[in-house]
Amino acid sequence: MMTPAVMQQLATKPTALPPSPVRPAGEPLSTIRQTDLRTQRAPAADAPAAAAPETPWSAPLSGETAVTAQRLGQQTAAEEEPPADDAAPRSMPGELSPEQQARVAELKARDAEVRTHEQAHKAVGGRYAGAPRYETTRGPDGNTYAIGGEVAIDVSPAGTPDETIDKMIQVKAAALAPAEPSPQDRRVAAMADALRLQAMAEARAQGAAESDAAFAESQGDGEEMAPFALGGGAGADVVPLAYRKPPIPILLHGMAAYGATLAMNAPSPYAQRAERFDLVA
Per-residue pLDDT of 67-81, as tens digits, reads 333 343 444 334 444
pLDDT tens figures, 213-222: 877 777 765 5
Contacts of residue 244, defined as CB under 8 A and 6 or more positions apart, other chains included, come to: 228
DSSP strands (E only) in 169-259? 250-252, 255-257
Pairing of strands 144-150, 250-252: unpaired
In this prediction, residue 212 carries a pLDDT of: 79
Contacts of residue 252, defined as CB under 8 A and 6 or more positions apart, other chains included, come to: none
**Amino acid identity, residue 27?**
E
Coil, helix or strand at residue 133: strand
pLDDT tens figures, 80-118: 444 444 443 444 556 899 999 999 999 999 999 999 999
Coil, helix or strand at residue 134: strand
Mean per-residue pLDDT over the chain, rounded: 65
In this prediction, residue 69 carries a pLDDT of: 34
d(CA 162, CA 200): 8
In this prediction, residue 5 carries a pLDDT of: 54
Coil, helix or strand at residue 148: strand
More reliable by pLDDT, 279 or 171: 171
pLDDT tens figures, 50-70: 444 443 332 233 333 333 333
In this prediction, residue 24 carries a pLDDT of: 52
258 has a pLDDT exceeding 70: no
Q: What is the mean pLDDT of residues 150-174?
A: 95
In this prediction, residue 236 carries a pLDDT of: 44
